[in-house]
Amino acid sequence: MIKNRREPFSFHWTCASLAGLAFLAGCVSSSPSATPNTTGWIKDEVADSYVFGYPLVLMGVARDAAVGTDPGQAPINTLRHAQALPPIGAANPTRPGLDTLDSTGWLDVSEEPVILSLPDSHGRYVDARVLDMWTNVVWSTSSQFATRAAGIKAQGIAFVGPGWKGDLPKNVTRVDVPTRNAWVSVRIQSNGTRDLTAVRKLQRAIRVVPLSVYVGDTHAAQIAPSRSNAADTAAATGTTPAAQVAALDANGFFSRLADALSDNPPTPADPHALKILSDFGVTPGEPVKLPNATAVVNAGLADGHERVATPPSNVLSANGWSWFGDGVGNYGPDYALRAYAASAQPGIGTKDDEVRAVVTQDSDGHALNGANRYVIHFAPNELPPVRGFWSITAYTKDGALGESAPARLAVGDRSGARRNRDGSLDVTVSSTRSKSGNWLPAPRSDLQLVLRLYAPKPQATDGSWQPPAVVRQ
């Protein structure tokens, strides 16, 4: 098993590619323009900068697609509430959850703080989190699970943008946000379709408003959403934000990055990364001027694509499963992990918020397929370690709910999963009904399984616990 370890991200610089960067000792202090026949540095710097900027560009595309008044959208500083569990079909977001109903929205804290008010959930599990535009978690409810298994108390949180000075109401907690925009998600545990009325009641009690509205200023100015020039095109494509980013050419990607950097400086501050961007013509708030070396730039972009999609060494892996460990959600300079996490599990929280372990192969290394029958055996002392709850869901290999599944069903400790006499627990995975009481319906095709741990305990992310293998029967 690969243990989780924080490895600072390092650009793949050489002395030849670092010419002109005086902060690196031992390299020649001459600018790239002094050696016009050498273009190798361009490829490396484009790839490094793609990895560095990927989360910010992805979040910008996601915001542009979600903000508005069209069906499926919500204005800035408001929430869109999911009213039902996701239907079966490929049109859903990748790996839609079946355990919660989600309320999501985009905040703009450039003019004044925005206040999120949450109700008392009366013991029902609620996971709320806010991410900045670099996908760092600036606040979440995870700390509240240290004293209770689930549920939150009524509370107000004021999200404050850079440079704001003023007074906040005494009954709210201040949280500083380093970027203009932020993404908020409130997920409420749902126990199936019969439970939706109670969940919707809690959703209606959630409030997101600017400070001026919160304190009763009815004449508060409305903030226009911050959208790039490509916003309308991106939102109209109907594809996922990740697919939209992957389709951008070098000029499109770095133009979006340059636009976004004006309002969303790097966190942590990284003048070295900004210097690298400026070396090949990318400056915050200005039109990009990429080098006249199209083939080399495109090669760097392709290398960046590959690196974003490649799990870094500090992703945990065991028995065919992979999941994020201690470094997720607060990445610091670990840009490789940050980019991969943004691509693989958009909106992922910290190690204390949630774990999503994914497996696509059985214990023999063969692709999972619903035509076969599999068993996942949890030993008595190896059940998923959680303070909240856990579940397993089956998806197609593309992350959709299978059309052939007889029911939307996730198997877990909140769905009545039965233990064996010795305290162990078996989950049977197959497209055909099993006599097992813990049958997980699966698509009649290649598939993937996602094991979700809500409010996981530390051993779920420090490498001391691992999910059991998926064994074909």
Say how far apart CA 412 and CA 393 lie, in whole Å.
9
pLDDT greater at residue 94 or residue 343: 343
Helical (H) or strand (E) element with 441: strand 439-441
Edge to edge, the sheet with strand 207-210 lists 173-176, 155-160, 114-118, 207-210
- Show the tokens assigned to 292: 């006249």
pLDDT confidence tier of residue 18, bands split at 50, 70 and 90: very low
**Residues 373/352, Cβ–Cβ less than 8 Å:** no
Q: Give 165: exposed, middle or buried? Use CB within 10 Å, 0-12, 13-18, 19+.
A: exposed
Instruction: Say whether pLDDT at 150 is over 80.
Output: no
Mean pLDDT over 212-239 rounds to 55
Topology (CATH) of 353-472? Jelly Rolls (2.60.120)
Identify the residue whose tokens are 């939209």.
244
- Show the tokens assigned to 297: 């730039």
Beta-bridge partner residues of 174? 158
Instruction: Say whether pLDDT at 94 is over 90.
Output: no
Instruction: Say whether pLDDT at 265 is over 60.
Output: yes
pLDDT confidence tier of residue 92, bands split at 50, 70 and 90: low
Q: What is the DSSP letter of 65?
A: H
For position 235, what pLDDT does the model report? 41
Helical (H) or strand (E) element with 244: helix 241-246
Polymer length of the chain: 473
Q: What does the mean pLDDT of the chain come to?
A: 86
Residue type at 361?
Answer: Q
Say how far apart CA 424 and CA 399 lie, in whole Å.
29
Say how far apart CA 134 and CA 20 lie, in whole Å.
28
Query: What are φ and ψ of residue 187, in 5° steps?
Result: -110, 125
DSSP 324-390: --TTTT--TT-HHHHHHHHHHSTT---TTTEEEEEE-B-TTSPBPBTTS-EEEEE-TT-S--EEEEE
For position 303, what pLDDT does the model report? 98
Say how far apart CA 165 and CA 64 lie, in whole Å.
28
* pTM, rounded to two decimals: 0.86
- Show the tokens assigned to 4: 């989780």
Say how far apart CA 1 and CA 364 lie, in whole Å.
16
Mean pLDDT over 62-81 rounds to 93
Residue type at 106?
Answer: W
- Show the tokens assigned to 341: 């996490």
Say how far apart CA 28 and CA 429 lie, in whole Å.
60
Query: In 190-299, at which residue ranges do the beta strands (DSSP E only) sit?
Result: 207-210
What is the per-residue pLDDT across 323-367, written as a single tens digit (0 to 9) for each?
999 999 999 999 999 999 999 999 999 999 999 999 999 999 999
Instruction: Say whether pLDDT at 39 is over 80.
Output: no
Q: In Å, how far are 97, 99, 353, 427 from 388, measured between CA atoms?
A: 15, 12, 10, 19
Q: Give 31: exposed, middle or buried? Use CB within 10 Å, 0-12, 13-18, 19+.
A: exposed
Say how far apart CA 330 and CA 307 lie, in whole Å.
20
What is the per-residue pLDDT across 98-117, written as a single tens digit (0 to 9) for each?
899 999 999 999 999 999 99
What is the per-residue pLDDT across 232-255, written as a single tens digit (0 to 9) for each?
334 444 588 999 999 999 999 999
Instruction: Say whether pLDDT at 74 is over 80.
Output: yes
Q: Is 211 in a helix, a strand, or coil? A: helix
Say how far apart CA 291 and CA 13 lie, in whole Å.
18
- Show the tokens assigned to 20: 């002109």
Within 10 A of 244 (CB to CB), how many other CB atoms are there? 22
Domain boundaries in the chain? 1-65+227-319+338-346, 68-214, 353-472
Topology (CATH) of 68-214? Immunoglobulin-like (2.60.40)
Identify the residue whose tokens are 């990009």.
288
What is the per-residue pLDDT across 182-193, written as a single tens digit (0 to 9) for each?
999 999 999 877
For position 236, what pLDDT does the model report? 41
Helix axes 250-263, 40-66, angle to 10 degrees: 70
- CA 127 to chain centroid, in Å, comes to 14
For position 314, what pLDDT does the model report? 93
- Of the candidates 328, 264, 302, the one whose C-alpha atom is nearest the C-alpha of residue 53 is 264
Instruction: Say whether pLDDT at 135 is over 90.
Output: yes
Say how far apart CA 449 and CA 400 lie, in whole Å.
11
Q: Is 67 in a helix, a strand, or coil? A: strand
